[in-house]
Amino acid sequence: MSEQFDRIHSHIEAIANAMPDPIFVMGQDGTYLDVIGGSDRSLYADGHPLIGKKYHDVLPEKMADRFLKIVRKSIASNTLQEIEYQLADDEVNGIESERANEGQWYEARVYPLNSDVYDQPAVIWLAINITSRKHMEEQIEHLSSNDPLTELFNRDYFLGIVDEEVNKARLNNRPLSMAKINLDCFKRITDAFGHEMGDKAILIAAHAIKNVVGDLGYIGRLSCDQFMFVLPDVKSVDAFRITKLAQETISAQKIKLDDGETTCLTSHAGVTEMRLETENSQDLFKRVNKAIKALEGTREITKVM
């Protein structure tokens, strides 16, 4: 009977240690009590050196606090707890790893261990590396919010940002300005030299606007040749200067055409500022478009309204 028990035990141990994902046994007092599995070294560092050590001795303080809270919550409620966290191997004292030390994402399922074998209440902590999934989610989110050509915010996502910033400005009684830049010669370039040259023109304009606006606000590409940016905490007089500089930066760039000639991009722009607490983003949109419309037949290229 003893021999049969030992054989069963060795089989279970072999199977457990072969598991690619690690199971940590975590004590209520904040100690790593045991480590089972985690054999996939491409996804996990060897956690066995952590056995007997306190969370606060090996983890960043905030992470250790979070782990201890989850462990004690699972024990107290006798229920499954789930947690996602990001942790790099070099943030954990006492383990060695040959993997790149960028932060890895993990999903842990934490469940109380109904046994007194560890001489204190404990949980099993199944950690699963979900870094690939997180990167895919980030890519999907990026694609859903960004224009694929310019990397600026796409129309729908940008308009959502504008609504949020207008609400913030209204609640905090802070200034907010909006500017719209329409390129004048995009259609002529596309008709004469094709969409590839048109894309080049759009990229030049987008890069120029990003260089000027920087961290001052948010930029969106509304359509083929229309750009808009919203500037929180900026009054219209300063937004006008920023917009003029963006237009000058755009027009300073030379585009080499297929016939060996060069051309530059010209633009018209409207600028406005939030004036009343009752105003919303649509009121600002209407004013910047009205400002651009008012430039027709004049020599001006920028107008505040």
Q: What homologous superfamily is domain 2-137 in, according to CATH?
A: PAS domain (3.30.450.20)
Q: What mean pLDDT, rounded, does the chain reach? A: 87
Per-residue pLDDT at 68 exceeds 70: yes
Assign domain 146-304 one CATH number from 3.30.1490.20, 3.30.70.270, 3.50.50.60, 1.10.10.10: 3.30.70.270
CA distance 214 to 243: 12
pLDDT score, position 79: 96
Both tokens assigned to 276:
């009343």
CA distance 189 to 187: 5
Would you state the torsion angle of the CA atoms of residues 50, 54, 58, 60, taken in this order, to the nearest 10 degrees? 140
Spans of all domains in the chain: 2-137, 146-304
Letter string b/e over residues 164-198, b meaning 16 or more CB atoms within 10 A of that residue's CB: ebbeebbeeeebbbbbbbbbebbeebbeebeeebb
Handedness of CA 96, 98, 100, 105 (dihedral sign): negative
pLDDT score, position 184: 86
For strands 262-264 and 226-232, give the pairing: unpaired
HSE-up (13 A, CA, CB side) for residue 195: 2
Whole-prediction pTM: 0.62
Beta bridge partners of 126: 23, 109
Q: Which of 108-122, 189-203, 254-268 tops mean pLDDT? A: 108-122
pLDDT digits (tens, 9 = 90+) for 218-273: 999 988 889 999 999 999 999 999 999 999 999 888 777 766 677 778 899 999 99
- Contacts (Cβ under 8 Å, ≥6 apart) of 269: 179, 180, 181, 182, 243, 244, 246, 247, 291, 292, 301, 302, 303
Would you state the torsion angle of the CA atoms of residues 276, 282, 288, 294, taken in this order, to the nearest 10 degrees? -100
Per-residue pLDDT at 2 exceeds 60: no
pLDDT score, position 253: 82
Please list the alpha-helical segments (H only) found in the chain: 2-18, 55-58, 61-77, 131-145, 155-172, 186-193, 195-213, 236-251, 281-294
Please state the rounded mean pLDDT for residues 94-120. 83
Per-residue pLDDT at 167 exceeds 70: yes
pLDDT score, position 135: 83
Least confident of 78-92, 94-108, 173-187: 94-108
